[in-house]
Amino acid sequence: MSNLSDLYQEVILDHNRRPRNFRVLDAATHQAQGYNPLCGDRFELYLTIDGGVITDVGFQGSGCAISKASASMMTDCLKGCPVADACALFERFHSMVTTPPDIAVEDLGKLSSLAGVREFPVRVKCASLAWHTFKAALNQSQRATTESAG
Ligand code: ZN
């Protein structure tokens, strides 16, 4: 994996073309806005949490293929997931995209299609934006930004 085109694997292109859960949740219990100033990616994330389980997830907004595909895949993974498991997945995803390229990382299924961003520090922000927005929504903060996050 050594050039940028390798980043745009088929699974990423597919999620970018047909983002899953791309809608506003009227009954959302948690929401947050995420913004990545380096790239201009901007998304609103909606969660419905009931009894400690994420029963529904939706997102809206626009950004580059990496950020949009990452948000789409994340919503797929989080739907039906206990909040504690979702937080653990956040940690695993974060370490996958921030581990140096020459070190092996855990296989996270379709999320692993984003592992290539490890070689492109600017793209790490794009791939992790949705996840930081998810954490912000859990904390009910108004806004997430990747400016200070890794
Ligand atoms: Zn981006």
pLDDT of 123-146, one tens digit each?
999 999 999 999 999 997 545 555
Residue 6 has a pLDDT of 77
- Is the pLDDT score of 51 beyond 50? yes
Could you give the CA distance from residue 110 to residue 55 in angstroms, rounded to a whole number?
21
Could you give the CA distance from residue 47 to residue 120 in angstroms, rounded to a whole number?
30
What residues pack around ion ligand 1 (CB closer than 5 A)?
Answer: 39, 41, 64, 67, 126
Phi and psi angles of residue 100, each rounded to the nearest 5 degrees, phi first: -55, 145
CA 105 – ligand 1 centroid, Å = 22
CA 117 – ligand 1 centroid, Å = 11
CA 122 – ligand 1 centroid, Å = 8
Residue 4 has a pLDDT of 67
> Does the pTM exceed 0.75?
yes
- Is the pLDDT score of 91 beyond 70? yes
